[in-house]
Amino acid sequence: MKPAQAIYRIDSSEATLLLSANGAVPRMLWFGASLPQIADPSALHSLCDIAVPQAKLDTAVPLSIFPDSGSGFMGPVALEGHRAGSHFSCTFKIEHIEQSSASIEFTLLDPVAELRVRTEFLLDSDSSVLTINTKLENTGSNAFSVTKFASATLPFADTFTECLTLNGRWGLEFQQHRSAISANQLRIKNTSGRTSHEYFPACIVGQQHFDAERGQVLGVHLGYSGNYEFTVERLSTGEACLQAGMAILPGEINLAPRAVIDSPPLYACAANSLNQMTQRFHRFARRHVLPKWTRAPRPIHANSWEALYFDHDEKTLLALVDAAANAGAERFVLDDGWFHGRRDDTSGLGDWWVDKTIYPQGLHSLVAHVRKRGLQFGLWFEPEMVNPVSELYKNHPEWVLQVEGQDTPLARNQLVLNLGLPAVRDYLYDSIAALVDEYKIDYIKWDMNRDLVLPGNNGQAGVVAQVNGVYELLDRLTSAYPALEIESCSSGGARADYGILLRTGRVWTSDSIDPIDRLTIQRGFGLFFPPEIMGAHVGHDVAHLTGRATSLQTRAIVALQGQYGYELDARHISDDEREQLVGYAERYKQHRHWVAECTTWEVPTRDASLFVKGQVSADQASSFWTVVVSSSLDTTLPEKLRLLGLDGAKRYRITVVGWEALKSFAKHIPDWVVSGAVVSGSELMNIGLNLPVMPAQSALLLDCSEA
């Protein structure tokens, strides 16, 4: 006789989670759109009964939420490890189940392997995002060496045949890449010690050709800032699963008796399109991940880096502050080059005190001038790094991550401090806190400019300890200074995830501010992160990273997709350019009070060179839309633009910014572009708008507000 089975259920406003348990490890029956109440659970179990093919085990081995090797499961198991070479396999059974209205926690036990696992499923009632937290406890009397520990293993529908991942490189992060889900295993493994430029800790599986407005999808994101691994596989049985968790270096996790380790949380969302998935992740991040200060209107940044690089001079900086303020900036950030011995990138990192050869009286006069102009003051740090040419390294060479007897390759002439050591964290906290106190710093740009190579910690691999150390240091600072705003920068977007965003509230999306490259960078970033935390700046007319020349109009309109700012030398712009920048700054200020709660809409287009993105206020009364052409379109006229997410019954006034730059490219520009129009939301979403002729690298901004 089969053991009795029970159905465990959680419902949110738009989703249902069903799990089944019969004493063995539970399995997930459903995660997706809301289901009606189940009248007969036994009938459902009958429907989910699994056939047993020939040439396999004599009993069915279903895919469970924590697959183990002892059950005979031949897919990706959730846990691998050993006790000095023994106890290499596990067979878990349910020890305890605890349920509330929003969560279910299963406690699993293997008394032979002497291991206990607790897996919690928490379904957010508002966003319908599912959070999965898993803990592993060593109940034995000797250490257990962990070599693999997955956060979660999720089944997905048979109809899901495509997997979307975000890949890239420095200066071109968050690029969308699609793979077919077939008999081959899809695997991402990141060992850079940070979330990395090359991979993003997320993937989306879905129906063939899913896009912004169609196709069921399951999106998952691992909230972790270190090494990780994703696997997507369709087994020979036909079952398909997605597994994610931290990637563990050899010998890195040796779990002492009674010790517990937490997996990084996995966040999952089932939706009917990419837009719906994105909107749910954004709602969840705003309520449960991001610091509270991100809910306030975001100020316009002016960053000194591409204006001056290391060429610091107090008189020059004062003029730069004035020019930035005159262009509409509200926060001035002094980037790399202000601290002891820092004349280039070969020295100084770790010596966190003001260089008196440049600033004899410290930063007081600069900060006073910034405040006099009505701006906030921000300062750049790279706390996790040290140059071999520095006072800190001379005094404490033992403070770096290293493997004895091996030379660690330099990157940007720097090594990595071992934040697994309390003394290192104390030194960094004291150094940063002293400057925050002295100058009343409003904002820190926290950079991290290299991958971890040979990340040794007292003879063992130390990436997990390093990530935990970074988190602990940030937690200590944000606890002591709750109003202090911190940005996550890592040579651009190499550390962007919900783990770091529990401690920071802005991401420098990429070191490339070429607006054409930024179109795909920001589109990928926006799948999981809301626009108000996306650093997006107007750069020089010729992008420093790519050498591409673009108009100020295109640079500004693309920057308006995120938290607007400047990465240029405003001292050397013309009066006309300054007037344009002020105009775009005013547009940003006009809308930003509702952007922190906006709904974003990606408009799918026939031509891959046409990019349309909208931000719509929660009450659907205001919105703005960026329309950008990256390269020459296939047709002489752009396709018709149909807006999304408006109230069909409302009437909207459409105003177009930037159309004057297009006059020379056509004999006629549509009347609504030149004179504006008042039309219903229904007309805008169904009939649409005929766009003007738009050449390569041109852009328009559509302001759409209730009439």
Active site residues: 447, 511
Nearest to 274 by CA among 223, 201, 179, 205: 205
- Distance between CA atoms of residues 446 and 626, nearest Å: 29
Strand 172-180, strand 186-190: pairing: unpaired
Record the tokens describing residue 196, joined without a space: 């990395």
Estimate the crossing angle of helix 575-595 against helix 552-559, to 10 degrees: 20
Record the tokens describing residue 619, joined without a space: 């009450």
Strand 622-629, strand 699-706: pairing: antiparallel
112 to 109, 115, 624: CA distances (angstroms): 9, 8, 61
Supply the DSSP symbol for 38: P
- Distance between CA atoms of residues 501 and 285, nearest Å: 9
Nearest to 532 by CA among 208, 223, 301, 217: 301
Which residues share a beta bridge with 393?
none
CB atoms within 10 A of CB 22: 15
Q: Is the dihedral of CA 354, 360, 361, 363 positive or negative?
A: negative
Nearest to 627 by CA among 597, 589, 662, 590: 662
Helix (H, G, I), strand (E, B) or coil at 57: coil
Mapping DSSP onto H, E and C, the string for 151-189 reads EEEEECCCCEEEEEEEEEECCEEEEEEEEECCCCCEEEE
Strand 563-566, strand 534-538: pairing: parallel
- Distance between CA atoms of residues 157 and 380, nearest Å: 46
Record the tokens describing residue 655, joined without a space: 């105003």
